[in-house]
Structure 1
Amino acid sequence: MAEKPLILVTNDDGINAPGIRTLIEVMNQLGDVVVVAPDSPQSGMGHAITLYSTLFADPVKIDNGPQTEYSCSGTPADCVKIAIREILNRTPDLCVSGINHGSNASINVIYSGTMSAAIEAGIEGIPAIGFSLLDYGHDANFEPSKPYVKTIAEHVLKHGLPEGIVLNVNIPNLNKEAIKGIKVSRQARANWVEEFDKRQTPQGKDYYWLTGKFVNLDGGEDTDEWALENHYVSIVPTQFDLTAHHFINDIKNWNLND
């Protein structure tokens, strides 16, 4: 009998978040699942790793599913590292991260712990996908996401991904009938216009809350933001090589060694 695919599941909202519980449920239909996820919310951690404190990864049993689970004290990237080096007995065939509570489209990919976990797996040569639903609520309805999560994961298991590429998948917050399908997209040019809400403690010490609004500067109809606004699931192939290859020759023409 052929060995089932080994699937590593992680996230940044914490091991008890509804999104990851949904992702585990779907992945159990596709292979043998091992979960290594943060023991508390780690949203916005990006690719942070733990260097100056201890890490714990404790076995847990959260539901009656067949998966094996570990609750980790570290960041999403830590979870993938410790899974690969200490927990798994072979290299996983797939790593899936999410389902995130909230968008990781456009510039959000830079800040996302969800996507950083997928990218960490990609660095290790493991096909990886980050899934996000455009609903920040703890009570978000993940049911319409399930067929898209399963379909995309099945195709990655079948076809693999090129070295250095992971998938950033965002799903609109709509019922199943309203989602039109899947669009392969590029990352939209957009950013957060940020402000700090400055307040004072009763003792007179200043403190700040980060606020802001998301501004889409991209009018293209081939972007993730366009796809989501038009009721499509977006897939953006994302690379972790940040080199601006097109600008290398321009810098060489500066004659820096003259």
Structure 2
Amino acid sequence: MMKKKPLILITNDDGITAPGIRALIEVMLELGEVIVVAPDSPQSGMGHAITINDTLFCDPIKIDSKASHKEYSCSGTPADCVKLATQQILDRKPDICVSGINHGSNSSINVIYSGTMSAAVEAGVEGIPAIGFSLLDYSLDADFEPAKKYVRAVTENVLKNGLPKGVVLNVNIPKLAPSKIKGIKVCRQAKAMWVEDFDKRTNPQGRDYYWLTGEFVNQDKGTDTDEWALEEGYVSIVPVQFDLTAHHFIQDLNEWEL
């Protein structure tokens, strides 16, 4: 009996026409049966937002006329895409959800703002093994070829080994030529933050408006972090859990006079 191909759900936050998701689709078509449900426009920085005060549209779309897999363009957020895919579009649970390949880093603190990772987390919440992939190149002309080897390797391993309940993978790939990437490092999330500022301006009608600016500051000197690995030329993999409970503080909190 022929083994059934794994069903692979693909999404992203840069939009369904972004080069990153097209590269991801190319790799996944080699591994299984593919279905794509992705935003109809860029949704970067949306985090785990979902649409509750507006209507959602999710329409079939044909981007590659020669492709046999199905694609849907969604008016909502990355998390919306996963919800709609699993609850309305698919007739069975995906074997894996892959999100990306994001144009830009989602290492360290960026993971909490990332629409790419929030889609993966949403899949994880629904019990689907999930991975978020990001390339450290924000350009629309980014070269995703060096990333494909690592995208395939990580995905194959998750399909083979599975993931613990409540865990998804955050994979970041440095912007380097293939010969310069040293390999893969399993890491922890670096302790870093954005030092932000708002550039205040006034429009021609006299109304104030703001542009968010900021500088990424890595406060972590450890050699086991995603930031260190990426700086050293490695692909970083961080296992991310979506249980946000600060378990180490529960005992102290219970001693408060509440």
- d(CA) in 2 for partners of 1:193, 1:250: 30
- d(CA) in 1 for partners of 2:206, 2:73: 39
Query: Which residue number in structure 2 is paired with residue 37 of structure 1?
Result: 38
Query: Which residue number in structure 2 is paired with residue 144 of structure 1?
Result: 146
Query: Which of 91, 100, 103 is the matching residue for 1:101?
Result: 103
Query: Which residue number in structure 1 is paired with residue 125 of structure 2?
Result: 123
TM-score relative to the length of structure 2: 0.98
How far off is 1:255 after superposition? 3.3
SS in 1 for 2:88: helix
How far off is 1:32 after superposition? 0.1
Query: Which residue number in structure 1 is paired with residue 5 of structure 2?
Result: 4
1:175 maps to 2:149: no
Q: Which runs of 5+ in 1 are unaligned?
A: none
How far off is 1:31 after superposition? 0.2
CA deviations on 1:59-110 (whole Å, 9 max, x unpaired) are: 0111123321000000000000000000001000000000000000000000
Query: Which residue number in structure 1 is paired with residue 63 of structure 2?
Result: 62
Instruction: Show the 5 A alignment for 1:43-82.
Output: 43-63=44-64, 64-82=66-84
SS in 2 for 1:107: helix
Query: Which residue number in structure 1 is paired with residue 192 of structure 2?
Result: 190
How far off is 1:152 after superposition? 0.2
How far off is 1:247 after superposition? 0.6
- Count of aligned residue pairs for this structure pair: 256
How far off is 1:2 after superposition? 1.4
* More off after superposition, 59-68 vs 228-237: 59-68
How far off is 1:254 after superposition? 1.2
- d(CA) in 2 for partners of 1:229, 1:146: 20
- d(CA) in 2 for partners of 1:20, 1:71: 13
Query: Which residue number in structure 1 is paired with residue 27 of structure 2?
Result: 26
- d(CA) in 1 for partners of 2:106, 2:69: 26
- d(CA) in 2 for partners of 1:43, 1:6: 26
Code of the residue aligned with 2:75 in structure 1: it is S
- d(CA) in 1 for partners of 2:175, 2:84: 33
- d(CA) in 1 for partners of 2:249, 2:177: 43
CA RMSD of aligned residues (A): 0.6
- d(CA) in 1 for partners of 2:4, 2:100: 25
Residue pair 1:28, 1:66 contacting (<8 A) in 2 also: no
- d(CA) in 2 for partners of 1:85, 1:250: 41
Query: Which residue number in structure 2 is paired with residue 165 of structure 1?
Result: 167
CA deviations on 1:122-147 (whole Å, 9 max, x unpaired) are: 00000000000000000000000000
- d(CA) in 2 for partners of 1:65, 1:17: 16
Query: Which residue number in structure 2 is paired with residue 133 of structure 1?
Result: 135
How far off is 1:157 after superposition? 0.2
TM-score relative to the length of structure 1: 0.98
